[in-house]
């Protein structure tokens, strides 16, 4: 993302597409083995104020499956070719590596598809936008497959509004959290993490303590940083309490769905 706080996130997105799609044809996923094929669906900043304990040599870190489970249910969108393989673009920071692009808005993936079809008709023939859940994406990442997220530009603006220092812009996919929304259910502690500021504000409006000045109770971080911290920390450190809430849903609705 453009680090200039005065830049237009939508314009930056268009610039990103223009710069990279022109080289997409040379990186068709025919070069990728079967592990890169799309798979069928399968079943934050602070550890919610829980005190962090020193890590010991034999402590058990959160497993990839445990991290992936917290991401279940959230869809992102990408472009696949007629063989149900990711359409890849060049990594601007590493010309020898290819990336799959994952959009948090379906309309951005449709724009990506249109650019592919316009600039590379052969590659675009049979290409389509397909959804993939973040838990699937995470497990593919564990296997060494590289992705780049394209965040919702509206949420980038929302994140910048919450940051004290906007001089460096916002890097990554914004996620939002509030200690006021931490709760327990059936002896399990949950710290919900939201992808949309509007969703967490709606949840906070239902909490009497947050009836005024709701935004001051909201913390913002990046999805990428939160996942790194989850990978680095141990069980019982508080990071295993996190659960990512899909856009448009309440935490109670999502937990009911994933527990079903």
The reply to whether 105 and 199 lie within a common domain is no
Residue 216 pLDDT class (50, 70, 90 cuts): low
Q: Are residues 93 and 178 in the same domain?
A: no
Mean pLDDT, rounded, for 182-205: 91
The mean of the pLDDT values for the chain is 76
Question: What are the tens digits of pLDDT across the range 69-85?
Answer: 999 999 999 999 888 88
Asked if residue 246 and residue 227 are part of one domain, the reply reads yes
Q: Looking at the structure, do residues 106 and 211 belong to the same domain, yes or no?
A: no
CA angle 210, 241, 175 (to 5 degrees): 60
Higher-confidence position of 228 and 185: 228
The pLDDT score that the predictor gives to residue 84 is 86
Same domain, 157 and 121: no
Q: Which of 193, 201, 198, 258 is nearest to 229 (CA)?
A: 193
Mean per-residue pLDDT, 190-211:
86
* Whole-model pTM over 0.75: no
Percent of the chain at pLDDT > 90 equals: 38
Number of domains in the chain: 2
Highest mean pLDDT among 13-17, 44-48, 161-165, 252-256: 252-256
pLDDT one-digit tens code per residue, 8-37: 433 444 444 444 443 433 333 333 233 233
Judge if 242 and 139 occupy the same domain: no
Percent of the chain with pLDDT over 70: 70
- Do 138 and 28 reside in the same domain of the chain? yes
Domain boundary at 97, 123, 150, which?
Answer: 150
- SS (HEC) of the chain: CCCCCCCCHHHHHHHHHHHHHCCHHHHCHHHCCHHHECCCCCCCCCCCCCCCCCCCCCCCECCHHHHHHHCCCCEEEEEECCCCEECEEEECCEEEEEEEEEECCHHHHHHHHHHHHHHCHHHHCCCEEEEEEHHHHHHHHHCCCCEEEECCHHHHHHHHHHCCCCCCCCCCCEEEECHHHCEEECCEEEEEEECCHHHHHHHHHCCHHHCCCHHHHCEEEEHHHHHHHHHHCECCCCHHHEEEECCCCCHHHHHHHHHC
Residues 197 and 143 occupy one common structural domain = no
Residue 61 domain-assigned?
no
Of the residues 123, 150, 177, the one at which a domain ends: 150
The last residue of a domain, from among 150, 185, 216: 150
128 falls within a domain: yes
> Looking at residue 193, which CATH number applies to its domain?
3.40.1350.100
Tens of pLDDT, residue by residue over 103-114, are 999 999 999 999
pLDDT in tens, 227-243: 999 988 766 677 889 99
Q: How does residue 88 score in pLDDT terms, banded at 50, 70 and 90?
A: confident
Same domain, 164 and 111: no
Range of the domain at 236: 153-259
* Residue 98, in any domain of the structure: yes
* Residues 139-165 pLDDT 10s: 988 778 888 999 999 999 999 998 877
59 within a domain of the structure (yes/no): no
């Amino acid at each position: 993302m453009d680090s200039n706080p005065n830049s237009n996130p939508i314009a930056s997105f268009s610039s990103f597409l223009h710069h990279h799609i022109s080289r997409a044809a040379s990186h068709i996923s025919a070069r990728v083995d079967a592990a890169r094929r799309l798979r069928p669906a399968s079943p934050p900043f602070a550890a919610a104020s829980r005190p962090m304990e020193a890590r010991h040599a034999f402590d058990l870190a959160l497993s990839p499956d445990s991290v992936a489970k917290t991401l279940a249910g959230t869809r992102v969108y990408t472009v696949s070719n007629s063989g149900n393989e990711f359409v890849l673009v060049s990594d601007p920071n590493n010309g020898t590596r290819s990336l799959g692009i994952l959009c948090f808005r379906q309309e951005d993936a449709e724009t990506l598809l249109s650019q592919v079809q316009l600039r590379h008709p052969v590659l675009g023939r049979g290409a389509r936008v397909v959804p993939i859940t973040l838990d699937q994406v995470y497990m593919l990442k564990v296997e060494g497959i590289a992705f780049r997220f394209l965040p919702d530009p509206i949420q980038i603006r929302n994140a910048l509004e919450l940051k004290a220092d906007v001089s460096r812009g916002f890097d990554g996919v914004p996620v939002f959290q509030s200690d006021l929304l931490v709760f327990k259910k059936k002896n399990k502690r949950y710290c919900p993490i939201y992808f949309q500021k509007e969703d967490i504000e709606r949840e906070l409006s239902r909490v009497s303590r947050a009836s005024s000045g709701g935004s001051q109770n909201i913390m913002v971080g990046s999805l990428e940083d939160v996942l790194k911290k989850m990978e680095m920390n141990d069980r019982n450190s508080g990071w295993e309490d996190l659960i990512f809430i899909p856009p448009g849903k309440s935490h109670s609705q999502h937990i009911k769905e994933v527990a079903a």
